[in-house]
Structure 1
Amino acid sequence: MSLFDLTGRVAVITGTSRGIGRELAHGFADAGAIVVGCARSFERAEATAAELRDKGHETLAVLADVTRPEDCEALIQSAVRRYGRLDILVCNAGVNVKKKAIDFSPAEFDTVIGGNLRAYFLCAQAAARQFLKQGKGGAIVMNSSNASVAAFEDLTPYCAAKGGIDMLVRGLASEWGPHGIRVNAFNPGYTNHSMTKRGQSYLSEAAREIVERTPLRRMAEMREMVGPAVFLASDAESFVTGTILLADGGWCAQ
């Protein structure tokens, strides 16, 4: 359907080396976008890019640590130098530490807040500067979490970071809307991806409870996050901004 067609649009996606980010890279490329992906490991970012090229897609891999403002700016400008413009930014790269709040060190807290809320702000800021130069608006999509709405045990700083991202979306949408820049988020629930696999011992104990508490009675698959993200980046949402789209199987509806 043409409303969801991204043909020729230049999309920067952060954290494309694995997990949901890798799925988003494939999904956006399949929808016609030129994907500029990044990771803290160039080899891993390039591995995803190679997969896209094997499918006949134009793409570029960039080394970037999105907690660093200079890397965020360089990432955006890499896309502009290669392809002449920027149309879409997808903030996806993130970090989590599962631990009792009482036991969090200041450094661990800074890592979680910095790798999520701060990184998203820095990337959005760099993208908005380019959008303003181009004078044609743009779309920013943020991968948040239903942890922004519901509290989860041993994830308090992560919940705080994701809650901050939701408010960041609303604030930036209000501020940048007059310039035609749309800012939205999709908020996954429990998903079978690399971040959950690293907590496999926890999930193996809790998986049954999670499934039983989810109205759709299962966890999401990573590919199921492609639709919400593409929708929010596409012309189908041309009058949608400041929106938080829960993609959590109904968890937060209860």
Structure 2
Amino acid sequence: MDPLDFSGRAVVVTGGTRGIGAAIARAFRAAGAGVLVCGRHTPADYNDFFQADVRDPYQASALIRAAVGRFGRLDVLVNNAGGGPHADAANASPRLHAKVIELNLIAPLHVSQAANTVMREQPSGGVILMIGSVSGTRPSPGTAAYGAAKAGLHHLATSLAAEWGPKVRVNSLVVGPVGDAVDHAALARTVPLGRPASTEDVAGACLFLASPMAGYISGAALAVHGGGEWPAYLAEWRGGA
């Protein structure tokens, strides 16, 4: 039996219409799963879409009900919706800080609560994945509220894993720079693998963590960051090596 065959399984991906979320949705569909994605605005080219602002707990619950109504079950939730603009912490408005933390930390908790209500009653349980960031593991100047929220998200995953096991496994992914909108030359100097992650890199990690191959992994944070960042204090030594 192929451990990456998700035929007959149901998956929800928040923020799944573009970027990392869209790649995750495509990967699970290619593996045979039924996938429902959500977002605040309805895209033109998505059939398996549910419009929801997951910062609202009622809309988060409605999303999970819609998935169960469509597929009859829920096996995997990927809390991918997130993000935040660059803003100096000294000058950013309280409203901006609140919205960033609400989207990146509170919303995943809302959706996870609703998902757990379904998963804990299923014989097979379920898997919840949090798409975190390296910004939550090291200083995040210019995106302080975002980094703080992602740090909280990683901790949330460990707490939910402890509370909701053994029926529900909960893990987070610590994702580094992704895609073409980053400085590739800088990454080649500072990231051991010399490139940003592709969205498919993140999607593949999600497939693994949701699969039976990761059946004894819960409360973990999987680093998907190309080996991390070369320590700045070693830059002179490295240049002369």
- Report the TM-score, using the length of structure 1 for normalisation: 0.86
- The number of residue pairs the alignment matches comes to 231
Q: CA-to-partner distance for each residue in 1:152-200, whole Å, 9 max, x for gaps?
A: 321111110100000000000000013x10001112100016xxx4xxx
Instruction: Answer with 72-81 or 129-138: which moved more.
Output: 129-138
Match of 1:166 among 141, 154, 159: 154
Q: Tell me, in whole angstroms, the C-alpha distance in 2 between the residues paired with 1:117 and 1:124.
A: 11
Question: What does residue 81 of structure 2 align with?
Answer: 93
Contact 2:6 2:28 in 1 (8 A): yes
Q: Pairwise mapping of residues 92-111 of structure 1 onto structure 2 (< 5 A)?
A: 92-111=80-99
Structure 1's 253 and 233: CA in aligned 2 closer, same or farther, altered over 3 A? Answer: farther
- Aligned CA distance change for structure 1 residues 139 and 74 (closer, same or farther; 3 Å): same
Give 1:253 shift: 7.4
Per-residue CA deviation, residues 204-232 of structure 1 (Å, 9 max, x unaligned), is xx553233111111111111111110111
2:83 aligns to what SS in structure 1?
Answer: coil
Q: Output the CA distance in 2 between the equivalents of 1:90 and 1:15.
A: 9
For 2:148 and 2:137, locate their aligned partners in 1 and report how far apart those are by CA, in whole Å.
Answer: 10
Secondary structure of 2:49's aligned partner:
strand
Aligned residue runs from structure 1 range 170-181, under 5 A: 170-178=158-166, 180-181=167-168
Contact 2:38/2:49, CA 8 A, preserved across alignment: yes
* CA gap 1:253/1:11 in 2 versus in 1, 3 angstroms: farther
For residue 196 of structure 2, what is the amino acid of its counterpart? M
What's the offset of the Cα at 1:124? 0.5
TM-score of the aligned structures, taking structure 2 as reference length: 0.91
Structure 1 residue identity aligned to 2:10: V
Find out whether 1:67 has 2:55 as its counterpart.
yes
Where 2:127 maps in the other structure, the secondary structure is strand
Structure with greater Cα Rg? 2
- DSSP-derived class of the 2:120 partner: helix
Cα pair 2:77 2:127 within 8 Å, conserved: yes
Query: Which consecutive residues of structure 2, in runs of 5 or more, have no partner in the other structure?
Result: 232-241
Say what the alpha-carbon RMSD is for the aligned residues. Answer: 1.6
More helix by share: 1
Counterpart of 1:116?
Answer: 104
